[in-house]
Structure 1
């Protein structure tokens, strides 16, 4: 029997909560991935502004849900084996916490633990335009080992809907964890 792989999903309060939701939806269909969700209070508010979903709808998509205040949760320990963490979307506040190892809540603590254990941390940073402070935070987080991946849409795959754009972006983010959920239209597959 193959052991289940675990992936932490952090959803912060930045615009674009649908990225985190879509990650959970896609991963639900991947049988060997166990998801651990941390959704911030700001993300719950953004969810209500940007979707027809509520926090309970999103939590139901995850295998395990951890309170953002529970810095003693299993995912806050390096001995808890995971593939790493996807923060989708990643707010400036969350990026700042990760860049500066400021572990005052579980999203940042779990990311910090993944980084110290040399596990992948992918940050779908959702801010534009950028000022020098944002760029410095992205540099600092990258130097700490994180992968900053602003959710910039691909167009070579000829997306027809917003869902196509979101799924392609999340599929590419999951590629970084060596998870192929069969949602990415690859360059060679689009007839170029």
Structure 2
């Protein structure tokens, strides 16, 4: 089913309409972000996930996580062929809550920033921009050259949110999964999706006795 759009049987049994969210995985390092985002959305059950994986994205997921394209597809509700430019998500008339590309390679960022919609991943992102829907680009690259920075600026000026997966060390992560889940939680926040036990929220500085302080100048 790697080349076809499909739905999981359990979604037909819910008997209710959920908002749709498009999730894209491109070829940058960080496939775990997209995978854990899909898994979180499935657990929460608030949104129907529509997945687009580029060829490079599938290769990266296999290299980093040891999973196949089929493994990726089983976590999503609906899957599209990245070459199917005529798929539902290629039209603004197909209503969604928005789109996340996690991770977002610099090539995909350039395509989005410059309107080069040559596949379904960049076309779906282009739809989000033209329809003024939320588009989150989890841009993964370091260091950044001037082209990367300019493309981030262009995407931001058009309404996208560029969100590099920067670790939050203040929450004292213990595992890679902790680091990734913090990013996943922040992505969910950007879509107003309520979540618990995915990412630790900041509640203020604590002194040596564990008490929260209202300010640092007391």
TM-score, L = length of structure 2: 0.85
**CA positional deviation for 1:184:** 2.0
Decide which of 155, 178, 185 is 2:169's aligned counterpart: 155
Distance 2:47 2:179 in 1: 23
**CA positional deviation for 1:190:** 8.3
**CA positional deviation for 1:118:** 0.7
| Alignment correspondent of 2:75 | 61
Distance 2:204 2:27 in 1: 35
Work out which of the two has the higher radius of gyration on C-alpha atoms and give 1 or 2. Answer: 2
| Alignment correspondent of 2:125 | 111
Distance 1:48 1:58 in 2: 10
Q: How many residues align?
A: 192
Q: CA RMSD in A?
A: 1.4
Distance 2:134 2:92 in 1: 13
Decide which of 16, 23, 34 is 1:9's aligned counterpart: 23
Answer yes or no: is 1:164 the counterpart of 2:178: yes
Which of structure 1's runs of 4+ aligned residues deviate more than 2 A?
189-192
- Secondary structure of the corresponding residue to residue 108 of structure 2: helix
Which sections of structure 1, spanning at least 5 residues, go unmatched?
none
**CA positional deviation for 1:180:** 2.0
Q: Deviations over 1:77-101 (max 9, x none)?
A: 1111111000000001100000011
